[in-house]
Chain A
């Protein structure tokens, strides 16, 4: 008898050969026109948001295995980096209406993707992240090595109350932008979770 029985795993199993980083590259890190296509970006943003939510839940349920200290890189990207410098009340946005030649619009789309993602950390894990502001330098794994665009972090503890308050302000600020209601809603839920835990 030759050949494999039905159900025998193929040695060429395509996705199975990839680790998570490689799979993410294949699925998300697209190049060329697709990279800047608005619909593609929004779909990728949705996966980014899902990932942040899943990662936050792992940190809550298995903190000894999947530390939530990693949340900082996701939160920093969403709340402390350049897209926030675009002027409030920038008119946006449906994907069809978006003028990609307008850098303010591109910045707005980035916020549409990144803010809901960072919000998941607080909606799901606000008490955990708040608890990090009470950790020592050693427990946090050292001091921050980088400044963000909008937050001078270098040399300070990575998690501290002042920074937490800055993040809260960012989630409040999003309500003043002409941005989608779903993003405003996620930001509001995040802000409520933060206020509840640190009241």
Chain B
């Protein structure tokens, strides 16, 4: 199968007139994915690099998954096992303590006397990724 991998790297590494990333929130994420798919880096090393920005900005986790799902669309099936290995390595990372204001993580939130309680772990449970896929599938996209 033909792939659109050139489009993927080009679009996610676009820079603005100041040389700043215009697509990826964190350019390190693009480098991490490159390292993963070229087999230069282990999934565990990539997981750390790929999640570094989001670990301190959990409410922006959506953009991280958007890039990963986009890679699933743009890269051929032979590359998918590496992407899945990355997901597995992310699930094994020490988890992030979610705090007030982290509602954008997709985790189910409960109000408790002590404040908000997050029922799902950012990395272990991958709540936002599951929600992203569910939203997409519930909209019943078909091949256009």
Contact = CB atoms under 8 A, between A and B. Distances in A.
B62 interface: yes
Nearest to B72: A54
Contacts of B136: 20-21, 24
Given A53-B80, A54-B77, A55-B72, A16 B66 contact: yes
Interface residues of A, number: 53
Nearest to A61: B84
A39 to B, nearest CB: 12
Contact of B66 (A19, A55, A66, A77): A19
A16 B72 contact: no
Interface string A1-43: 0011011111011111111110110011110000100000001
A113 B1 CA distance: 12
A31 B129 CA distance: 28
Contacts of B69: 20, 23, 54
A28 B139 CA distance: 15
Given A12-B16, A13-B24, A21-B136, A54 B143 contact: no
Interface of B: 1-4, 11-12, 14, 16, 18-27, 53, 60, 62-63, 65-67, 69-70, 72-77, 80-81, 83-84, 87-88, 125-126, 129-130, 132-133, 135-137, 139-144
